[in-house]
Structure 1
């Protein structure tokens, strides 16, 4: 007796994204249904404008769409006047302790500010920054971090709890709103995934502003990637989040690549090829891991969202990877090149990778119908410039 066709399960349906108020950073829109953006933070000394711009350009080439810079002192704040106008992507000044650095950053032409309620707590100082940002049409991110939580909030809620993080963010938001300022993003970050995720849900339920997702102090790449993928990815699958930053100890380019991969894995954006490969078994007679790595490295320049499969044998390869746009199934002496599960060529094993890449580039050069490059985040109709009111 055959079973009836299954009805779609709730888990197979994408969760609608949370509605949020859009804001602009130059021509990049955050919130309001715009594509989720990937951010990073420079690791250079901001006072060295030339080195910082070099790093920003590297990150932009890797897919970074918004960049944040540390502003530890007045010299760094003044360097923003050289960096921001020359940056290919919007620049956010990361401000701690001294609100005057925010005012200098605004004068230098930055596209956004990040304020930390944990160490900028004087109401008058926050008001001064809000007024100056409104005058220049510059959004503000209220960025709460578990490591620098306002001691008064920690005392009120019995420690670094989700409630303490959320309330710290919302209290600062209320001060900005009191000045008529609404071009706001919010982030509540922690190393503890349960705390970070619960705090984000609390904020999401109580305000309409876009959410920046991230796991602070995520660590070395091996663990930081996993920690970030779980924390950021789970919230994205719940429909929460409008922009993300993966924090890793190491090259910031890796942060961007991982961020793009998280978005790709949860089905929200696709930029560049995704490589799928089998885990191998006793049938595999080729160095599959090395081949998959070679394919990944040699297709990094492609921006089209192709799926490329690298399979270890011809027994199941084309069938298991039939959803792939292109793929190879290796053998000891020869292997197959396939497209959408259909074999198109048989080649000696040593020529498989070159043959695969030739097929892909021929396809792209011909301009055949297929998935296109992910469009840069742009404004939905009617999105206000920063500093204006939503329509």
Structure 2
């Protein structure tokens, strides 16, 4: 069961309580570059981002937040460090939330109190963020990874346990993070401010999991989940799926961000895939494709990648399958809203479990996207299947007798 938290609002997006788990991201642009920042946020909106955070390192960035806010359609969160005057200006500019780490504000509690008063006056929320790195935790990894061996005076040989050392250090760090977050919350509560969400991030998934678990046992404030500095696309997605997935499966978490060293638009599909896999959100395309093997006689990888790319902006819940062999293909394709079961240069198109037609390999892309478009609202259908249809082909024909024969491949 999902943990019951108090509900707050960031703009018009409810966080906590019974609200859906919200998906957010953060811009990579210099905020003062209004055109680039707005353009990136609009791209994020297209792929389903529900809240967006921007960095505000200097006053020049804070002063343009109002202009950015006027040109976007999702709540805007200002990320503030060190100088609380930046937060006060961001609030004056009309942002929907400020993200603060009270531990690094130059004037400490006094600065936080000024920010809280401004948030109360404007009726906006605050995110209190406590990252493991911000606690100046000692890096003992190299020491802990060595097995220490010593002989006692009675002759018994003792061996240290590196895994146990890491576990103990992780628990200590997580407890410090939670205690700091609760301390900062108490400062806000003394001012009768409760529009708070909390993040307890770490680049180590097990540390983040431990911190979020401990906090959820001691407070009902909503939690923003994230594995910070998770890495590039593949390792970052894996670490986020492990860390966030475990917590979400335990009912912990009210909003999430997948942090990747990639374009922020790539974070959103990963976040929704995590939520869909746990049946926590039903938004966008549930995509199934086979991994390919020696049974396959079409280039299912190329076809699947191209179909997925063209469906990236679809937000309507729909199940699409691209399969390439006779073993699992027909069953998976029949179970989807739209499915392709291909083999030997041709494929069967399924729609809602019924066979629609058989098409040659060069028409796979057109046939699949046309059927998907027929199930979508008009504005999304036009994105997926433009007037005139899909003229290009995707993939390469392959047979066990002849090897792989090239056919024209789409230019990305």
Settle same-fold status: TM greater than 0.5.
yes
The runs of at least 4 consecutive aligned structure 1 residues that moved more than 4 Å come to: 157-160
Q: In the alignment, is the contact (CA less than 8 A) between 1:95 and 1:113 conserved in 2?
A: yes
Aligned position for 1:76: 61
Q: Structure 1, residues 115-142: CA drift from partner, whole Å, max 9, x if none? A: 1133026222111111111011011100
Aligned position for 1:348: 360
Shift, 1:355, TM fit? 1.7
Aligned position for 2:103: 118
Deviation larger for 261-270 or 351-360: 351-360
User: Are 2:196 and 1:211 aligned?
Assistant: no
Distance across 1 between alignment mates of 2:230 and 2:193: 32
Q: 2:50 aligns with which of 65, 69, 74?
A: 65
Q: Cα 1:130–1:313, aligned 2, differ >3 Å: closer, same or farther?
A: same
Shift, 1:315, TM fit? 4.1
Distance across 2 between alignment mates of 1:161 and 1:271: 36
Shift, 1:103, TM fit? 0.9
Aligned position for 2:8: 23
Q: Structure 1, residues 172-202: CA drift from partner, whole Å, max 9, x if none? A: 0010001100000000000111110010011
Distance across 2 between alignment mates of 1:277 and 1:141: 38
Shift, 1:264, TM fit? 1.5
Distance across 2 between alignment mates of 1:59 and 1:236: 23
Number of residues paired by the alignment? 347
Distance across 1 between alignment mates of 2:332 and 2:72: 44
Q: 2:120 aligns with which of 134, 148, 155?
A: 134
Q: Cα 1:314–1:212, aligned 2, differ >3 Å: closer, same or farther?
A: same
Q: How does 1:294-313 map to 2 (within 5 A)?
A: 294-313=306-325
TM-score normalized by structure 1?
0.84
Q: In the alignment, is the contact (CA less than 8 A) between 2:46 and 2:313 conserved in 1?
A: no
Deviation larger for 69-78 or 186-195: 69-78
Shift, 1:67, TM fit? 0.8
Shift, 1:78, TM fit? 1.4
User: Are 2:77 and 1:92 aligned?
Assistant: yes
Shift, 1:85, TM fit? 2.9
Q: In the alignment, is the contact (CA less than 8 A) between 2:47 and 2:314 conserved in 1?
A: no
Shift, 1:359, TM fit? 2.2
Gaps of 5+ in 1: 1-15, 367-391
Q: 1:331 aligns with which of 333, 343, 348?
A: 343
SS at match of 1:163: helix
- Cα RMSD, aligned residues only: 2.0
Deviation larger for 188-197 or 98-107: 98-107
Distance across 2 between alignment mates of 1:226 and 1:149: 25
Structure showing greater Rg: 2
SS at match of 2:203: coil
TM-score normalized by structure 2?
0.80
SS at match of 1:118: helix
